Amino acid sequence: MPQHINVAMVGHGFMGAAHSQAFRVAPRFFDLPLTPVMSTLVGRNASATTAAAEKWGWEKTANDWHDVVNDPDIGLIDISSPGSTHVEIAVAALEAGKHVLCEKPLANTVEEAETMAAAAAAAAERGVYAMVGFSYRRVPALTFAKQLVAEGRLGTIRQVRAQYLQDWLVDEDGPMTWRLDKAKAGSGALGDIGAHAIDAVQFITGQMLDDVSGLLHTFVTERPLLDESVAQTSLGGAASTERGQVTVDDLALFTAKLSGGAIGSFEATRFATGRKNAFRIEIAGSLGALSFDLERENELEFYDATAPATELGFKRILVTEPEHPYFAAWWPTGHTIGYEHAFSHQLVDLLTSIDARTQPTPSFEDGLQVQRVLDAVDRSSEAGSAWTTTRATATANGETR
Amino acid sequence: MPQHINVAMVGHGFMGAAHSQAFRVAPRFFDLPLTPVMSTLVGRNASATTAAAEKWGWEKTANDWHDVVNDPDIGLIDISSPGSTHVEIAVAALEAGKHVLCEKPLANTVEEAETMAAAAAAAAERGVYAMVGFSYRRVPALTFAKQLVAEGRLGTIRQVRAQYLQDWLVDEDGPMTWRLDKAKAGSGALGDIGAHAIDAVQFITGQMLDDVSGLLHTFVTERPLLDESVAQTSLGGAASTERGQVTVDDLALFTAKLSGGAIGSFEATRFATGRKNAFRIEIAGSLGALSFDLERENELEFYDATAPATELGFKRILVTEPEHPYFAAWWPTGHTIGYEHAFSHQLVDLLTSIDARTQPTPSFEDGLQVQRVLDAVDRSSEAGSAWTTTRATATANGETR
Amino acid sequence: MPQHINVAMVGHGFMGAAHSQAFRVAPRFFDLPLTPVMSTLVGRNASATTAAAEKWGWEKTANDWHDVVNDPDIGLIDISSPGSTHVEIAVAALEAGKHVLCEKPLANTVEEAETMAAAAAAAAERGVYAMVGFSYRRVPALTFAKQLVAEGRLGTIRQVRAQYLQDWLVDEDGPMTWRLDKAKAGSGALGDIGAHAIDAVQFITGQMLDDVSGLLHTFVTERPLLDESVAQTSLGGAASTERGQVTVDDLALFTAKLSGGAIGSFEATRFATGRKNAFRIEIAGSLGALSFDLERENELEFYDATAPATELGFKRILVTEPEHPYFAAWWPTGHTIGYEHAFSHQLVDLLTSIDARTQPTPSFEDGLQVQRVLDAVDRSSEAGSAWTTTRATATANGETR
Amino acid sequence: MPQHINVAMVGHGFMGAAHSQAFRVAPRFFDLPLTPVMSTLVGRNASATTAAAEKWGWEKTANDWHDVVNDPDIGLIDISSPGSTHVEIAVAALEAGKHVLCEKPLANTVEEAETMAAAAAAAAERGVYAMVGFSYRRVPALTFAKQLVAEGRLGTIRQVRAQYLQDWLVDEDGPMTWRLDKAKAGSGALGDIGAHAIDAVQFITGQMLDDVSGLLHTFVTERPLLDESVAQTSLGGAASTERGQVTVDDLALFTAKLSGGAIGSFEATRFATGRKNAFRIEIAGSLGALSFDLERENELEFYDATAPATELGFKRILVTEPEHPYFAAWWPTGHTIGYEHAFSHQLVDLLTSIDARTQPTPSFEDGLQVQRVLDAVDRSSEAGSAWTTTRATATANGETR
């Protein structure tokens, strides 16, 4: 008989909806050692929070995250609010003995991420665990990709090509949102979707991005300010007549040298006209290759270079079979899943780790590593695409950077 | 403030899981006029039913469907049990004033379907409604396909090609299940998946299959009996050493003349090696064409023959945008949905119709029409593929057949 | 040092152009035992024939095919004229000791084809050989498909799906051409492109189509007559104001029982809006499956059902490698070939057989077999899609039909 | 009545074969103002040259390129020999009044290319023309892509992604060839296939690559020396036991700022396991986007962002219709062409320009521009991926670099 764990979630935007769906659905398909209870939804705007809680099925609401940090009944705090809020909430929650699931990117700066990783390391010693929400690790095709690599089916990995392509900013008259404001979002395409590309590549290959040379570019530098009087949809909104400055990147391009000798080419963009959510990964090794596109997330293409000469080719594997990661819990052979299911998988793995008193992955340390790469890309771009290490380096005052 | 409607569901196999997910999820994403309450799960095996109810979140259980038909608190009965049980339950439920959602195919025979359609027609006059669960009508790509046809974008429809391809019987040593027993399943590939092809084509084109010439074929006529002592998975099971007779079709191939002058080619098979759930539809008209494959259910290919000569081609539309049917309720642009979501859409439309006191579609009459086509294909195959009408015809004793 | 063989070609339409290209190109890439010399082009219209000969590089012209049959210098006669002319020319040529390459379909009737097959059999005993031009057998992907089947990689073949889809008649106001006149063309889509589907399936599977149930349908029964005063392009032409009767099928749909137990579904159409030259073949067996589309003729998809459960999928093989049939003669790895190259391959195989004094394939007997299937489909359609044997059957006067 | 132009070709490797095919075939399908005569094949090895001339149909041979430069009967010299030989032959040929077609890349250094461009400019004033053989400009899909861009269908171009992916060096034990020796080949993947990517992007977009930041990388730095005693195939060869140093790049990755404000991402690699000849180009603009892959060279995907919101998607255009560039000369609707056909198209355009006494494109100046980009990428890589201009810059001694 599984125990229950009371959950509080901070934030109720797009990610809040996706996480709520996972809390609701995962226990119905997976045998969980801990059953999550959707206890408290936290948001600053009381009426909006109440409406969201009702829509998504949270038992009660709070308007100050300190309330749930201080609530002895809460066992897990899910941080789905903007990046600038992560560090404060996460550190307080961990110190209060709450397990933490924090949306990616972990933070808006390396310094914040370091603080969070330190807090997570300290908490882990007390059996309190933190996980960062790089949910795409739990897309079955990518989990399976990692397995193939780990089994050596690709041999020595030499090349990686990762592109996260969206086009929701193509219209020059699309309005400013918090995602285009560096103060709130930390960065643009780089942190929002490039972070996924970095984490997925490191996860699948087991190699870290050691050095990067990058370029950040903003195609449209001024946009109409958002009309705050109109209800906002998840990624867009209504425009007012005033204009504001876009302070984040529209496009991030970077090359990386990976710790195992591979060379990677990365792109994150919101200007790839016609690509709605095309997260593509290609990996080439001495014995094989992989190709993936999130627009067809139930498929993984695998090339086995050891096949007979006449039978070489990319095999389109429908990753929908009970033998594939996570799929036995869902539908019969050949029946697809969608975007939201990776959040359920993430929750399954988190709760399983918490129950087993083991560190869930990706840890805050993993999130910090991604943050270091994001930061290095940013600094490389500032420095004329000069090669920049992603490793922590000693600074003047003896701390690592 | 929406009212509640208490639901009882009969059956807890694969379809029971899919329907439960819809009852659980749909109210969280759609604004429903009636909120479904997962009240009673009905199954003959008490312990299995209790386990399923707990897993899926039903409040209580019953082991005799008469209990829910007689329960004044129940407003909607969802019939997800095998086809042979449909007629009795549906008629009783409708007579007791319960709305009914009945899985497809509507029944195992035309006679049963006629009885059900008559009961539904009588009930509708009392504001009690019945719907048959051809859920694929609510796959956004297919709903959108119907819209394109209705808007005249394909012109006069001339050719239809519909194939539902699975391969879960390719292994000759795969065991017998109730799905291979004509007494329980009514038919094989024809009724199970061919029924979807028939309904989808009639739905999208607005044309009925008037006459058919068909062939039913069984590749493997004897299979190991199922070892009943081993727990059964959704489509397969463990084999015993005894063998039983396969009494349904493995493959159904038929040609149809449609009411609007189109010619259709249909296939339903469980022997299409490598095709897991490939429900493909191609429609060609004087002004355009469509192509769909359920293995890529978030995509619809549309060919506009009126484009400039240099720009003719099939356009791969990601049917994931807020402007597409049902999608505004889900995720932002480009984020995919999976197999199960069509069941939510079906529920949304059912509850909306019930609330509005209008007939939901597909009605039992629509289900009867599909049943007539299934029956005509069966009779045509018996008659050496002779052309056979699908229309009700007067029989010796004055009834229609 | 290869000997030369003087070639005469009858006809100078689309096929004449394709064959000319083969005579010109094949000797430059393949080591041929006999070098073809483009000696005489035969056409009834003197000026058009002269123009074509000059354009394509034929040494001289003739306006009566008897001239080349009687020319002692000619070794090979290539019959690329309409089907109604095949029998007379081929029989005369073979009797005159000329090797013959005859375009498909072999003839317009079974009787003609029988006459031709008999003449070919008699000639073969004298070392004079005949081949029918089902050139698609020599598309490397299809030749390779046959190899995979022959090696048992598909196991027992159970299902075949062959569709030849074109759309050049979609426009109702497109004019009549000889291809729409049964007297000249023999049949419509059935004989023109359906014949390719029949031959390819028989070639790849090694199974014959024994019995068929078919439907021929004409969507547009009247069309503007061709304005003979305007030069005609290969498939179309300019319309006059008068209208003529279309006497051939626009669409042929048929089901077949194959000699090895497989069931086949066939379609040939000129009304598949958006499909320009989509010749698709899918074959499913107990151990594997194949999928091909001529619109991507350098690719073959192969599914190996014996792969591990997690690695099942259709492998997209680029059939462009030196290990693939015919490809070593062309370009380096990964460089594609086009439509015309199969004609070179056909010529290579024909000349190799002639030199080796062995029967080239497909023989006229093979062509006759296809003709019997075409005829059986036609008769089945006339007989309400009744199952019709394709085998020669005794007729009243003791001859076979 | 077209005049003749006698052609001499220097070199008889892979490119020699492709060019020979164009000289042989183009006049048979296109109405050329000048008919090329395959007069003299030039190669240093007499027997190999004679064999190639016989195989490909050249009238005679020479073993010193000066012979054809000095031959008054020769009108056009086609330089298909390795890059290191281009400058000397081209300059001499142009000075001798011969038109020149020179394979790409134009030269091995910017200096050589400058010399050649100057010679070409001088010759053009005398009505003697030079063209560099970036044949992919004449792949109909890419020619058509340029047309779409020129018509404004993409709006303001913002992003370009060009990858030329091959995998023929994946095997570490594959032998050294001249293509891996910087002294002969100039560079590796960068110059061989990256040059195509640069030219195609500049051609299609009309924007130049002004500044680049690049990385060249060699994965396998030592390989077995080629056994010269064994006949060499086009790209590979037999290995001896000694090893040599690979002095060129296996992989080139670079980012570019284009003259019209677009940002480009480029890759050229011979280590893309599973990609045989995948030259992919994606272009995104404010109004539309394009996608191309040479492995499917008869297709161009076009996204029209101005379509209705429900009908957005990439349209797969079969670029095989008479309305598409060059296609009216080949086969009827839907019939594909292959790799070699672009060489015919190149020849058609060259001869048409020569006859019209206009400068053919791409000119040597265009080739020089590509060379400057290649050089800038090389220098950027040497300088830690620092941004490097591709423009000619004044050097110490007053010359441009």
Is the CB of C10 inside 8 Å of chain B's CB atoms? no
Is the CB of B387 inside 8 Å of chain A's CB atoms? no
- Answer yes or no: do D313 and B313 touch at CB < 8 A: no
* pLDDT for C401: 44
Mean pLDDT, range D281-296, rounded to an integer: 98
Is the CB of B65 inside 8 Å of chain D's CB atoms? no
Give A-chain residues touching D265 at CB under 8 angstroms: 253, 265, 267
Q: Are D365 and D117 in contact (CB under 8 A)?
A: yes
Q: Are C220 and C243 in contact (CB under 8 A)?
A: no
| Beta strand pairing call for D299-304 and D288-293 | antiparallel
Is the CB of A263 inside 8 Å of chain C's CB atoms? no
Residue with tokens 């969802």: B78
Core vs surface per residue A150-177: b (16+ CB within 10 A) or e: eeebbbebbbbbbbbbbbbbbeeebbbb
- Answer yes or no: do C338 and D335 touch at CB < 8 A: yes
* pLDDT for C177: 85
Give C-chain residues touching B189 at CB under 8 angstroms: none
Query: What topology is assigned to B3-136 in CATH?
Result: Rossmann fold (3.40.50)
User: How many whole angstroms separate alpha carbon A284 and alpha carbon A291?
Assistant: 9
Work out the percent of chain B whose per-residue pLDDT is above 90. 88
Give B-chain residues touching C303 at CB under 8 angstroms: 273-274
Count the neighbouring beta carbons within 10 Å of the beta carbon of residue C393: 10
Is the CB of C221 inside 8 Å of chain B's CB atoms? no
Assign D394 a pLDDT band (cuts: 50, 70, 90).
very low
- Looking at chain A, which residue has its C-alpha nearest residue B20? A28
Assign B242 a pLDDT band (cuts: 50, 70, 90).
confident
Cα of B271 to nearest chain D Cα, Å: 30
Burial of D297 (0-12, 13-18, 19+ CB in 10 A): buried
CA B84 vs CA B109, B252, B372, C214: distances in Å = 9, 21, 16, 34
Of the partner residues D21, D235, D298, the one whose CB lies closest to the CB of residue C332: D235
Give D-chain residues touching B315 at CB under 8 angstroms: 311, 313-316
- Looking at chain B, which residue has its C-alpha nearest residue C167? B284
Residue of D340, D341, D343, D344 best to disrupt the C interface, most CBs of C under 10 A: D340
Every domain of chain C with CATH number 3.40.50.720 lies at 3-136+359-363
Any bridge partners for residue A265, and if so which? Answer: A161, A255
pTM of the entire predicted model: 0.95
- Answer yes or no: do C317 and A313 touch at CB < 8 A: yes
Mean pLDDT, range B356-376, rounded to an integer: 98
- Answer yes or no: do D387 and A387 touch at CB < 8 A: no
Is the CB of C317 inside 8 Å of chain A's CB atoms? yes
Interfacial B residues in 274-303 facing D (CB < 8 Å): 302
Is the CB of A58 inside 8 Å of chain C's CB atoms? no
Residue of D55, D300, D335, D341 best to disrupt the C interface, most CBs of C under 10 A: D335
Give B-chain residues touching D324 at CB under 8 angstroms: 310
* pLDDT tens, chain C, 401 aa long: 679 999 999 999 999 999 999 999 999 999 999 999 999 999 999 999 999 999 999 999 999 999 999 999 999 999 999 888 999 999 999 999 999 999 999 999 999 999 999 999 999 999 999 999 999 999 999 999 999 999 999 999 999 999 999 999 999 999 988 889 988 888 899 999 999 999 999 999 999 999 999 999 999 999 998 776 655 545 556 667 788 999 999 999 999 999 999 999 999 999 999 999 999 999 999 999 999 999 999 999 999 999 999 999 999 999 999 999 999 999 999 999 999 999 999 999 999 999 999 999 999 999 999 999 999 999 999 999 999 999 876 454 545 44
Q: For chains B and D, count residue pairs whose Cβ atoms are closer than 8 Å.
A: 45
Every domain of chain B with CATH number 3.40.50.720 lies at 3-136
Of the partner residues C314, C318, C323, the one whose CB lies closest to the CB of residue A315: C314
Of D399 and C265, the structure prediction assigns the larger pLDDT to C265
CATH of A140-296+298-337, one of 4.10.1240.10, 3.20.20.70, 3.30.360.10, 1.10.10.10: 3.30.360.10
For residue D11, what are the contacts with CB-CB under 8 A and spacing of at least 6? Answer: D42, D43, D79, D80, D81, D82, D103
Is the CB of B167 inside 8 Å of chain C's CB atoms? yes
Is the CB of C219 inside 8 Å of chain B's CB atoms? yes
Tokens representing B401?
A: 């057949």
Core vs surface per residue A244-264: b (16+ CB within 10 A) or e: eebbbbbbbbbbbbbbeebbb
Assign B398 a pLDDT band (cuts: 50, 70, 90).
very low
Q: pLDDT by residue (tens digit) across D191-246?
A: 999 999 999 999 999 999 999 999 999 999 999 987 766 555 455 566 677 889 99
Q: pLDDT by residue (tens digit) across A237-276?
A: 666 778 899 999 999 999 999 999 999 999 999 999 999 9
- Answer yes or no: do B312 and D317 touch at CB < 8 A: yes
Instruction: Indicate whether A395 pLDDT > 70.
Output: no
* pLDDT for C25: 98
- Answer yes or no: do A320 and B56 touch at CB < 8 A: no
Is the CB of D85 inside 8 Å of chain C's CB atoms? no
Instruction: Indicate whether A399 pLDDT > 80.
Output: no
Q: For chains B and C, count residue pairs whose Cβ atoms are closer than 8 Å.
A: 113
DSSP state of B174: P
- Looking at chain D, which residue has its C-alpha nearest residue B312? D317
- Answer yes or no: do D338 and C334 touch at CB < 8 A: no
- Interface predicted TM-score (ipTM): 0.94
- Answer yes or no: do D386 and A387 touch at CB < 8 A: no
Burial of A309 (0-12, 13-18, 19+ CB in 10 A): exposed
Give A-chain residues touching D267 at CB under 8 angstroms: 161, 265
Q: pLDDT by residue (tens digit) across C285-317?
A: 999 999 999 999 999 999 999 999 999 999 999
Q: Are A312 and C317 in contact (CB under 8 A)?
A: yes
Tokens representing C393?
A: 């059957």
- Answer yes or no: do D255 and A215 touch at CB < 8 A: yes
Of the partner residues A311, A318, A323, the one whose CB lies closest to the CB of residue C315: A311
- Answer yes or no: do D339 and C340 touch at CB < 8 A: no
Every domain of chain C with CATH number 3.30.360.10 lies at 140-296+298-337
Is the CB of A382 inside 8 Å of chain D's CB atoms? no
Is the CB of C271 inside 8 Å of chain B's CB atoms? yes
- Looking at chain B, which residue has its C-alpha nearest residue C219? B158
- Answer yes or no: do D284 and A159 touch at CB < 8 A: no
Count the neighbouring beta carbons within 10 Å of the beta carbon of residue A65: 23
Which secondary-structure segment (H or E) carries C70?
none
- Answer yes or no: do D313 and B312 touch at CB < 8 A: no
Tokens representing C243?
A: 């209208």
User: How many whole angstroms separate alpha carbon A37 and alpha carbon A24?
Assistant: 9
Residue of D205, D267, D273, D317 best to disrupt the A interface, most CBs of A under 10 A: D273
Amino acid at B60: K
CATH of C3-136+359-363, one of 3.30.70.1560, 3.40.50.720, 3.50.50.60, 3.40.50.10800: 3.40.50.720
Work out the percent of chain D whose per-residue pLDDT is above 70. 95
Q: Are C215 and C265 in contact (CB under 8 A)?
A: no
Tokens representing D320?
A: 């095989």
DSSP state of B311: G
Chains touching B (3+ CB pairs < 8 Å): A, C, D
